[in-house]
Amino acid sequence: MAFDEMMTADNEPRPPYKTYNSWFESQDRSRLIAKSKEAENIFRKTGITFAVYGHADSSEKLIPFDLIPRIISASEWRRLAQGIEQRVIALNAFLDDIYHKQEIIKAGRIPRELIERNDAFLPQMIGMRPPGGVYTHIVGTDIVRTAEDQFYVLEDNARTPSGVSYMLENRETMMQMFPDLFHENRVQPVENYPYLLRQSLASLAPPGCQGKPRIAILTPGIYNSAYYEHAFLADQMGVELVEGSDLRVIDGRVKMRTTRGYAQIDVLYRRVDDDYLDPLTFKPESVLGVPGIMDVYRAGNITIANAPGTGICDDKAIYSYMPEIVEFYTGRKALLENVPTWRCSEPDSLKYVLENLADLVIKEVHGSGGYGMLVGPTATRKERALFAEKLKARPGNYIAQPTLSLSTVPILVNKGIAPRHVDLRPYVLVSDKVQIIPGGLTRVALKAGSLVVNSSQGGGTKDTWVLED
């Protein structure tokens, strides 16, 4: 039986939900259903959409939004925030180490080949230290809950974590429709995220920056699935939204084309993958990046957030070593646990996984968005057999994990409420300090019994409330 975050087994509201539950019980259900449709219209008018690649109807989709918030107490949040901060500090130290002294490899804590043969490891970053020594400026840490006091980190997103625009729009929509609830429940704010992001990025401008740093967001363009978010954040931060064709390297600086000539960019928040960032260094056919930007970066004349080469922290084989990584760099055991993980590259682990496919979740080490995975308990015998062949052919490409009983939060349905599984992606800003936004994006599996929360796989979102003490 999954842990219900809102109600106890005796159908009593848990402490964080008591005030909200009293309000909810007093509401007319037909009014709430009408409010749900109103929220959908707000999202549609605002243009809060995303694309699903590979689908014929992939041009524009709304992410379903559920009105019942996910509520976290101040004490629960403090515990999560401490664990997240420890993890993010360790990730940044790990990145600095693997691109410099490689002490963790020399100490035998991580196999050398796992780093050096990893597609996300960039030899071009060896010996390179970003401005301020920060690699992971923006991090999204995916967390799941299985019991009242049991939280696990599901994965780390240290390359280009997405979804923060949905967190902000969810909150704005809820405040617009139910302003009284926020006063009654004393919910911590998230709406200052764009200001904090801009402040954090500006604080890490390159040493030679004169005056107020000029910040820009580099987008692949309107056909990217997260383009709405790129445009939204640029607007909210008051910075330029640029494509590669708007930028060029002039006199050892990256400059942006304007109506008054070219203006220098000091900090570039890039939403373009490493491979496409600089056609002179990476994929020569790329038209999304800026030719020569890596030379400017190496010379210390621009800050790129997140730093190139951070994608290795998103690798699920690296994830399996996170308890060792955290302890190695912080000197303490990890405050937040990993999900137990089998590395299929290891013969004994592969044997176990093949024998227990029906009970496990198998993921690609570079996979994201819920793609390229097998959920053993819900897969057919034929699907498991086909996946077993993939595993045997490329065992190093996969990891396996037990099927966790993710916690549930009710969603609003026509007949009332129904429990659905959720996860949480808090957002972290790193500069000379670590700032964790109180809440984050709660993703919810809208299909009964489903554990897949990704929007690309039919999931929705909720507003996440962290209460004040």
**Each residue's pLDDT tens digit, 254-289:** 999 999 999 999 999 999 999 999 999 999 999 999
**Mean local confidence (pLDDT), 53-57:** 49
In one-letter notation, the amino acid at residue 310 is T
Q: What percent of the chain stands above pLDDT 90?
A: 82
Least confident interval from 162-176, 291-305, 360-374, 389-403:
360-374
Q: What is the CA radius of gyration of the chain?
A: 22
For residue 262, the Cα-to-chain-centroid distance in whole angstroms is 34
Is the predicted pLDDT of residue 347 greater than 90, yes or no? yes
Q: Report pLDDT for 51.
A: 59
Is the predicted pLDDT of residue 333 greater than 90, yes or no? yes
Cα–Cα distance for residue pair 248/184, rounded to 1 Å: 52
| Cβ atoms of 165 and 173 closer than 8 Å | no
Cα–Cα distance for residue pair 74/438, rounded to 1 Å: 9
Q: Report pLDDT for 433.
A: 96
pTM for the whole structure: 0.93
Q: Report pLDDT for 448.
A: 86
Task: Look up residue 303 and give its DSSP letter.
Answer: E
pLDDT band at 56 (very low <50, low <70, confident <90, very high): very low
Residue 104 structure tokens = 């963790």
Alpha helix segments (H runs only) across 209-344: 227-237, 293-298, 316-319, 322-330
**Mean local confidence (pLDDT), 377-386:** 91
| Cβ atoms of 203 and 180 closer than 8 Å | no
**Mean local confidence (pLDDT), 324-344:** 96
Kindly state the helix (H) or strand (E) to which residue 36 belongs, with its residue range. Answer: helix 29-46
Show the domains of the chain with their CATH numbers: 15-206+302-337+405-466 (no CATH), 340-402 (3.30.1490.270)
DSSP per-residue letters across 429-452: EESSSEEE-SS-EEEE--STT---
**Bridge partners, residue 74, by sequence:** none
pLDDT band at 70 (very low <50, low <70, confident <90, very high): very high
Is the predicted pLDDT of residue 419 greater than 50, yes or no? yes
pLDDT band at 453 (very low <50, low <70, confident <90, very high): confident
* Cα dihedral 273, 278, 283, 286 in deg (nearest 10): 80
Most distant pair of Cα atoms in the chain: their distance: 70
Is the predicted pLDDT of residue 416 greater than 90, yes or no? no
Q: Report pLDDT for 59.
A: 52
Going by C-alpha positions, the residue among 418, 420, 407 that lies closest to residue 460 is: 420
Task: Look up residue 87 and give its DSSP letter.
Answer: H
Sequence-separated (6 or more) residues with CB below 8 Å from residue 57: none
DSSP per-residue letters across 383-419: HHHHHHHHHHH-GGGEEEEE-----EEEEEETTEEEE
Q: Report pLDDT for 52.
A: 54
Q: Report pLDDT for 34.
A: 93
Residue 335 structure tokens = 């405050």
pLDDT band at 95 (very low <50, low <70, confident <90, very high): very high
Is the predicted pLDDT of residue 65 greater than 60, yes or no? yes
| Cβ atoms of 290 and 222 closer than 8 Å | no
Mean confidence (pLDDT) of the chain? 93
Is the predicted pLDDT of residue 252 greater than 80, yes or no? yes
Kindly state the helix (H) or strand (E) to which residue 254 belongs, with its residue range. Answer: strand 253-258
Is the predicted pLDDT of residue 366 greater than 80, yes or no? no
User: 């093949």: which residue's tokens?
Assistant: 354
**Bridge partners, residue 145, by sequence:** 151
**Each residue's pLDDT tens digit, 196-234:** 999 999 999 999 888 999 999 999 999 888 899 999 999
Cα–Cα distance for residue pair 46/153, rounded to 1 Å: 32
Going by C-alpha positions, the residue among 225, 205, 332, 321 that lies closest to residue 271 is: 225
What three-state secondary structure class fits 297?
Answer: helix
Residues found in the chain = 469
Least confident interval from 28-42, 187-201, 287-301, 320-334:
28-42
**Mean local confidence (pLDDT), 104-130:** 95
